[in-house]
Amino acid sequence: MDRLEEFIRGLPKAELHLHIEGSLEPEQMFAFARRNGIELPFADVEAVRAAYAFSNLQDFLDIYYQGARVLLTQQDFQDLAMAYFRRIAADGARHAEIFFDPQTHTERGVAFPVVAEGLLAGMAQAQAELGVSSKLILCFLRHLSEDEAFETLSQAEPYLDRIVGVGLDSSEIGHPPAKFARVFAAARAKGLKTVAHAGEEGPPDYVYQALDLLEVDRIDHGNRALEDDALTERLAREGMTLTVCPLSNLKLCVIDDLVVHPLKTMLALGLRATINSDDPAYFGGYLGQNWTRTAEALDLSRDELVTLARNSFTGSFLAPDEITVHLAEIDRYVAGFA
């Protein structure tokens, strides 16, 4: 391990943009398929990996929804979550705010409580065994209707004390944030935080809509906001956290090469950017890989890395006193890293 990797590994950090279904590794896909008696359209793990060549978001989503079909039982969801937490604990993560897509499962007859109870059990296990804390964010699939989002929110009702917020994911173009303004208002009225994918493939206008119509607490991705100077200035002025996902952007052809990734520019513009993995089993790396590969490609300085680590906690939904503890831990770590 070189010095950069070592510094990054020990740096206390949080992950704020992770789809738990996107942490399903091909090996695990086969194991779950076997124990659940499900036929996969792939001969072996190599064939699955070979299928992970995407030219855009939709290419990926098609295979991602197909993969999720192996998840049936509460134990599957708990095991999936725990495998993810083991990975990020090894990457020096202290906290994660994870997305789940209930509609991907309820549509196939897997009941909301099976999914929620399984994930919450995995989260409790991660806290107990790894010391990694976490929060759960329910994402609405934006290619489905507003009515279906409302139905999902009502299914979540018994769990709202254990769900920190709602998000918006799936196919961005053609499904603007405006479509979900009312269900987000209902979620906010219940005391939930709100986040939305915006500006990954969609135009800057979708970022404005996420801010003005959904009143989000964070923007997921946000890359295309940089095309609009007034929007960029507003995001910086308002201290809006952007959950940026470098290896995802590379795999989904949002960028051609990591060396042209906008992360360093975002920091220079005063944007509160963070580094995240999005769907690590599909995009070639977990949190640590996203950090090291981006740091190398963009030649990020020690100060920039520390800023990114701080942003991952200040942008989290942890309580202010918990954030203070993590920031102090970062300071101690940096002071002690000779």
Q: How far is the CB of 201 from ligand HPA (least distance, A)?
A: 8
Assigned token pair, 184: 């987000």
Binding mask 264-293 for Zn ion (x = CB under 5 A): --------------x---------------
Q: How many C-beta neighbours within 10 Å does residue 290 have?
A: 29
* Strands ordered across the beta sheet of 241-244: 13-19, 93-100, 133-141, 165-169, 193-198, 218-221, 241-244, 272-275
**Site size for Zn ion (CB under 5 A):** 1
Shortest separation between residue 127's beta carbon and Zn ion, angstroms: 24
Is residue 97 close enough to count as binding ligand HPA by CB under 6 A? no
Q: Based on the shown chain and the rule CB under 5 A, indicate whether residue 101 belongs to the binding site for Zn ion.
A: no
- Identify the residue among 20, 33, 57, 114 touching ligand HPA (CB under 6 A): 57
- Assign 289 to helix, strand or coil: helix
Closest C-alpha to 263, from 226, 235, 211, 231? 226
Contact 279, 60 (CB under 8 A): yes
Q: Residues 15, 97, 200, 201: which is the catalytic one?
A: 200
Contact 283, 289 (CB under 8 A): no
**Which among Zn ion, ligand HPA, none contacts residue 104 (Cβ within 5 to 8 A by kind)?**
none
At 13 the three-state DSSP class reads: strand
Binding residues for ligand HPA restricted to 7-46, rule: CB under 6 A = 19, 22
Distance between CA atoms of 60 and 254, rounded to whole angstroms?
Answer: 13
Residues 102, 71: Cα–Cα separation, whole Å: 12
Q: Contact between 279 and ligand HPA (CB under 6 A)? A: yes
Catalytic residue check, 146: no
Q: In terms of CB distance, is 79 or 278 closer to ligand HPA?
A: 278
User: Whole-angstrom Cα distance, residue 69 to residue 264?
Assistant: 38
- The distance of closest approach from Cβ of residue 176 to ligand HPA in the complex, given in angstroms and rounded to an integer, is 14
> Could you say whether residue 169 binds ligand HPA (CB under 6 A)?
yes
Residue 197 is a binding residue for ligand HPA (CB under 6 A): yes
Binding site for Zn ion (CB under 5 A): 278
Residues assigned a catalytic role:
200
Binding site for ligand HPA (CB under 6 A): 19, 22, 57, 64, 169-170, 197, 200, 248, 278-279
